[in-house]
Amino acid sequence: MAVPACAARTLRSPLQPEHRAPSLTTCPRRHSRVEAELAVSQPGSVADSVRAGPPRGVSHGFNSLPLRDEPLKASFSLAGALRASLFALLPRGRRRRMNDLRRRWDLGSLCRALLTRGLAALGHSLKHVLSAIFSKIFGPLASVGNMDEKSNKLLLALVMFFLFAVIVLQYVCPGTECQLLRLQAFSSPVPDPYRSEDESSARFVPRYNFSRADLLRKVDFDIKGDDLIVFLHIQKTGGTTFGRHLVRNIQLEQPCECRVGQKKCTCHRPGKRETWLFSRFSTGWSCGLHADWTELTSCVPAVVDGKRDARLRPSRNFHYITILRDPVSRYLSEWRHVQRGATWKASLHVCDGRPPTSEELPSCYSGDDWSGCPLKEFMECPYNLANNRQVRMLSDLTLVGCYNLSVMPEKQRNKVLLESAKSNLKHMAFFGLTEFQRKTQYLFEKTFNMNFISPFTQYNTTRASSVEINEDIQKRIEGLNFLDMELYTYAKDLFLQRYQFMRQKEHQEARRKRQEQRKFLKGRFLQTHFQSQSQSQSQNPSQNQSQNPSPNANQNVTQNLIQNLTQNSSQNLSQKENRSNQKQKPGHKPNESTSSNGTNDYIGSVEKWR
């Protein structure tokens, strides 16, 4: 293809832009060399603007260059000259359409530049507004140094703190529903850590009548003596977590020694090589895997003092403790555990000196384990020990002939087992509930006078809670565990009454200490006041004798009046305490002695007299 003469001239010398409208000819007018240099060096020329670069905020890309009908300045390279020559050969309408298309592409760059400039201006104005606000709030600090620098640093710190809080919130609460954002958390100004752990109402209405001795569980446990705490661990009640708290999370003069990689810990008494705790994590399964009440009561004394002579054995007090759980949740948790391959074959089930036979206690599965069994098959086995497990493990099985079901009728057997479990649970030194972790910690600390290092954690999401069952299956599980359901209702009532009783007793003790402290301070004040009066009277004896012939008369009258008021107030307070105790325990006899406060309402009586 032959190149026209005008195109050849364009290749030889770069084209210079024109300030006027382009000529109608197909080839631009040829300038001399001197005119081209003058046009390039002219300060207001287009070439000067191209050499100065695009405006601020616009990139140096191909679409950012100014577009005209003809190229502004051909590149010094061969590609640039050829592109300019080919552009000049296009018709005028085609060149105009191409320029419009390029302008549209430049519109995006222009929008980005405007957005960048707008955000920068907005940030600058926001900075000035915040600095003005901080200058108003922290006005006295403006004279100390440069306010702009301080406001910038403070603003940066606030922004960083806000970003950190957002990240932490997204990490803690990734979902849309978060318990930390509930308005119920802000309802009470001073939240009680022991209140409404199970999201139930704080007001508790008791169903059973218990005596003061049943509610007041305070054990005189001497860790340096010979007493022993025995933990009865029922399957899937949270006993593993509580057992770890006993060996790793309790404040002791000589803490338990727990080595890495070992489950058992060494829990010795101070100054003795003898354990004070009989549990899975201290002595292991010495009486069998998950030994029940019948096994522990006959096995623990023999294991602890078996090597000693009967005459040299100390008189120990065995304090039994355990943890209970809601029967439906415990049953589902045990089913999930059996699905994963748990069998508890190592359990001895020793009763009356012998284990049960295969006819007395048949197996529900034929293989090595019962892994993968469905819930329906788990519930249909009549010999499943998961049914009413808590009642069976807390009762004395020797009363019903151990595992021999032919000794007595089933109805009578169930009644004897339930009453035995209730009696053993009530006379235990301590028992807790999985659904009330903080209350369990509180009652244990008050019972044994031993404090834990860190508070217990209430886990509302467990493997049992992840199992979705309908109402029919739940009713069937409750029917299979009807003895456990009744025992748990009894245990929950007793547990909450004990907690309420201990909290009231704690509040009364704190009030008594405050009254004693106020009495002491008031007595010191009256003593110093009388001493100052006596000193002033001794300094001016003549004046005092003329004004008051008996200087100690007022003091004696005041002291007698205070003593009378104190005696009357103590009597009134004792009568009020007796009335309150009778209201709290309607079945309790009023002749039980209560601790009297010798100095109650002393300050109130003095203030009334004044």
Element (H, E) at 534: helix 482-539
The region, left, alpha or beta by phi > 0 then psi within -120 to 50, assigned to residue 288 is left
Nearby residues of 223 by Cβ (< 8 Å), 6 or more positions away: 252, 253, 269, 270, 276
- 290 assigned to active site: yes
Q: Distance of CA 306 to CAs 229, 301, 309, 399, Å?
A: 17, 7, 8, 26
Annotated catalytic residue within 233, 245, 290, 319: 290
Residue 238 CA to residue 16 CA, distance in Å, equals 90
Residue 364 class from Cβ within 10 Å (0-12 exposed, 13-18 middle, 19+ buried)? Answer: middle
The torsion angles phi and psi of 99, rounded to 5 degrees, stand at -65, -40
Residue 491 CA to residue 360 CA, distance in Å, equals 30
Q: Closest by alpha carbon to 369, among 348, 349, 342, 346?
A: 342
Residue 596 CA to residue 575 CA, distance in Å, equals 10
Residue 352 CA to residue 357 CA, distance in Å, equals 13
With beta carbons less than 8 A apart as the criterion, state whether 594 and 581 touch.
yes
* Residue 596: strand, helix, or coil: coil
Residue 267 CA to residue 279 CA, distance in Å, equals 10
Q: Which residue has 């054995």 as its token pair?
A: 313
The torsion angles phi and psi of 324, rounded to 5 degrees, stand at -115, 165
Catalytic annotation, residues: 290
